[in-house]
Amino acid sequence: MSAATPSPPPSARPLSRRARLRASLRRWFDTDMPGDDDAGGASSAGADRIDWLRAIPFIGMHLACLAVFWVGISPVAVAVAVALYAIRMFAITAFYHRYFSHRTFRASRPVQFVFAAIGASSVQRGPLWWAAHHRNHHRHADLEGDPHSPVVHGFWRSHVGWFLTRDGFRTDWTRIPDLARFPELRWLDRYDIVVPVLLAAALFGVGALLERVAPGLGTSGPQLLVWGFFVSTVVLFHATVTINSLAHRFGRRRFDTRDDSRNNLWLALLTFGEGWHNNHHFFPGTVRQGFRWWEIDLTWYGLRLLAAFGLVRDLKPIPDWVLAKARG
Ligand SMILES: [Zn+2]
Ligand SMILES: [Zn+2]
Q: How much is the pLDDT for 204?
A: 98
For residue 30, how far is its CA from the centre of ligand 1 (angstroms)? 29
For residue 38, how far is its CA from the centre of ligand 2 (angstroms)? 26
For residue 256, how far is its CA from the centre of ligand 1 (angstroms)? 14
**What global pTM score does this model have?**
0.91
Q: How much is the pLDDT for 24?
A: 79
Q: What is the pLDDT of residues 298-313, one digit of tens each?
A: 999 999 999 999 999 9
Q: How much is the pLDDT for 9?
A: 46
For residue 144, how far is its CA from the centre of ligand 1 (angstroms)? 14
For residue 283, how far is its CA from the centre of ligand 1 (angstroms)? 12
For residue 138, how far is its CA from the centre of ligand 1 (angstroms)? 7
CA–CA distance, 143 with 136 (Å, rounded to integer): 11
Q: How much is the pLDDT for 35?
A: 59
For residue 249, how far is its CA from the centre of ligand 1 (angstroms)? 10
Q: Has residue 18 been placed in a domain? A: no
Q: Has residue 139 been placed in a domain? A: yes
Residue ranges of the chain with per-residue pLDDT less than 70? 1-15, 34-45
- What is the domain extent for residue 144? 59-327
Calculate the alpha carbon distances from 50 to 32, 38, 151 in Å: 19, 16, 19
Q: How much is the pLDDT for 48?
A: 87
- Structural domains of the chain, count: 1
Q: Has residue 4 been placed in a domain? A: no
Q: Has residue 286 been placed in a domain? A: yes
Q: How much is the pLDDT for 46?
A: 79
Q: What is the pLDDT of residues 126-159, one digit of tens each?
A: 999 999 999 999 999 999 999 999 999 999 999 9
Q: How much is the pLDDT for 45?
A: 67
Q: Find all residues with CB under 8 Å of 308, minimum gap 6, and list them.
A: none
Q: Has residue 48 been placed in a domain? A: no
Q: Has residue 181 been placed in a domain? A: yes
User: Which ligand minimizes its atom distance to the CA of 280?
Assistant: 2
User: Which ligand minimizes its atom distance to the CA of 141?
Assistant: 1
CA–CA distance, 298 with 86 (Å, rounded to integer): 10
User: Which ligand minimizes its atom distance to the CA of 247?
Assistant: 1
For residue 94, how far is its CA from the centre of ligand 2 (angstroms)? 11
Q: Has residue 11 been placed in a domain? A: no
For residue 321, how far is its CA from the centre of ligand 2 (angstroms)? 20
For residue 86, how far is its CA from the centre of ligand 1 (angstroms)? 21
For residue 154, how far is its CA from the centre of ligand 1 (angstroms)? 14
User: Which ligand minimizes its atom distance to the CA of 287?
Assistant: 2
For residue 66, how far is its CA from the centre of ligand 2 (angstroms)? 33
User: Which ligand minimizes its atom distance to the CA of 273?
Assistant: 2
Q: Has residue 188 been placed in a domain? A: yes
User: Which ligand minimizes its atom distance to the CA of 97?
Assistant: 2
